[in-house]
Amino acid sequence: MSLRKNINYLADFKKLIKWLLMGSLIFVFCFSSPLFSQDGFAIHLNLGVAYYHQGKYEKSKEEFKKAIQLNSKSFEAHYNLSLVYLAQENFSLAEKELNECLNLNPAYPEIHFQLGNVYFYQKLYSKAVDEYKKELDKNLSHAPSLYNLAKVFQIQGNIEEAEELLRRVQQISPEFPNIFADLGEISYQQGKKSEACEFLQKAIEKNNANLLPYLYLGKIYQEEKDYQRAEKMILKAVEIEPDNFYAQLELGYLYLEIKKYSLAISHLEKATKINPDDLLAHYYLGYSCTQLKKFDQAIAQYSLILDKKEKFEDTYYRLGDLYYEKKDYKKAVSFYLKELEINPQNRDALFNLANVYFKENRLGEAESSLKKLLEIVPDDVLAHSLLGDIYMRKNIYDKAIKEYEKAKANKQ
């Protein structure tokens, strides 16, 4: 009896979707108009804006602070300082400055919008929703608030509400950044692949340098088994951004699915170098190495996973298979047993454990494992066949015949 192997593709795009959501929030940095530099206050304020636009945030921050020292009631200085803190992702201080802005000038546009962004990035989604809605109470057509509110709803799983808001954004502002990509993404999430493809193609027409529509189209074509088009799309994403973890990861998944294991290894290795902490990338890299019989490299990948996380998918089972291939049956048994402690229903682990026991002539243990398997899947052909082999070795011919007949019947 040979080793039984199986892999379920775990990549379901959820991680990518979460990454897209977190990365696509709209910020609006609208600084106050430059003042004539007739006094120190105006000089500091204007210097702060100038430094900000050069990306010199620390210098920008210090200038706005000096402006506030000269005029603590300056709305402009507090507001501009809040935007610097947002750019630096110092959300607690950004929130403090924006609340001061509300005290000084509550009617000023986009304060609630910016507060919504502060809460969004802290994953305080209910607070973010409240702030975006407050902004929309003042201006129903504020497209950035509608857009960011849609992103919150998407994360919370309110897909239909998110779609409705994105369509409103499209109506209000047809040229809104990446709106077609977002509509394509949300159509994909709802399983409307044809509609998603239309939006994603429009997104590429509008901006062919955005890798996200290519990744989504690649995923859709891959699911439809149109691997040639899927490869073309994902390769384009990699071309746009070679160091993008998700682009390399998706290309690795694609090559793994179509059994181009050398290419899968190449791209999955790149992905793990970009993001060494993503365990799923290591898992698939280990599986790809296994297919090319690079057993030691595969063991290294799975062992790395277990160093970082005690339980991850069926890693113990995979290690059991690898040690089986290396004929280290003692270690194989050890890892199969660990897998079954975590997942007693793992049918392949039960069968392979029985297979090892059979090879070592531990017939009682092999029989016990197979009976557990047959409780889960009564018509498992290989289990009945191996059980027949066990009874043959025990010279219990009537039981052997019974198991072989079951295997034959189930195979038909």
> Tell me: the pLDDT tens digits for 350-382?
999 999 999 999 999 999 999 999 999 999 999
CB 346 within 8 A of CB 335: no
Positive or negative, the Cα torsion across 104, 105, 106, 111? negative
pLDDT, position 324: 96
Q: Confirm whether pTM is higher than 0.75.
A: yes
CB 82 within 8 A of CB 114: yes
DSSP string, 222-291: HHTT-HHHHHHHHHHHHHH-TT-HHHHHHHHHHHHHTT-HHHHHHHHHHHHHH-TT-HHHHHHHHHHHHH
Banded pLDDT at 2 (limits 50, 70, 90): low
Banded pLDDT at 82 (limits 50, 70, 90): very high
pLDDT, position 8: 55
Q: Residue 319: which of 391, 306, 308 has the closest Cα?
A: 306
Helix, strand, coil % over all residues of the chain, rounded to 5: 75, 0, 25
Q: Report how far residue 282's alpha carbon sits from residue 277's, in angstroms, rounded to the nearest whole number.
A: 9
pLDDT, position 24: 47
Is pLDDT of 170 > 80? yes
Q: CATH homologous superfamily of domain 14-344? A: Tetratricopeptide repeat domain (1.25.40.10)
Q: What is the dihedral of CA 104, 108, 109, 112, to 10 degrees?
A: 30
Domain range summary for the chain, segments of one domain joined by +: 14-344
Give CA angle at 223 (160, 201), nearest 5°. 65
> Could you give the 3-state DSSP secondary structure of residue 142?
coil
pLDDT, position 4: 61
Query: Contacts for 256-265 with beta carbons within 8 Å, 24 or more apart?
Result: 256/284, 256/287, 256/288, 257/9, 257/222, 257/227, 258/227, 259/291, 261/288, 261/291, 261/292, 262/292, 264/288, 265/289, 265/292
pLDDT, position 26: 46
**Amino acid of residue 158:** N
Tokens representing 215 are 């990744």
E-only strand ranges, 80-215? none
pLDDT tens track for 277-292? 999 999 999 999 999 9
Task: Over range 123-133, report the average pLDDT.
Answer: 95
* Placement of tokens 């802290």 in the chain: 122
* Placement of tokens 């890892």 in the chain: 335
pLDDT, position 376: 96
Tokens representing 206 are 């509008």
CA Rg, the chain, in Å?
Answer: 29
**Amino acid of residue 133:** K
Q: How high is the mean pLDDT of the chain?
A: 90
pLDDT tens track for 204-262? 999 999 999 999 999 999 999 999 999 999 999 999 999 999 999 999 999 999 999 99
CB 270 within 8 A of CB 290: no
Q: 134 phi and psi, to 5 degrees?
A: -65, -40
CB 257 within 8 A of CB 267: no
Is pLDDT of 133 > 90? yes
Task: Over range 106-118, report the average pLDDT.
Answer: 92
Banded pLDDT at 5 (limits 50, 70, 90): low
CB 280 within 8 A of CB 289: no
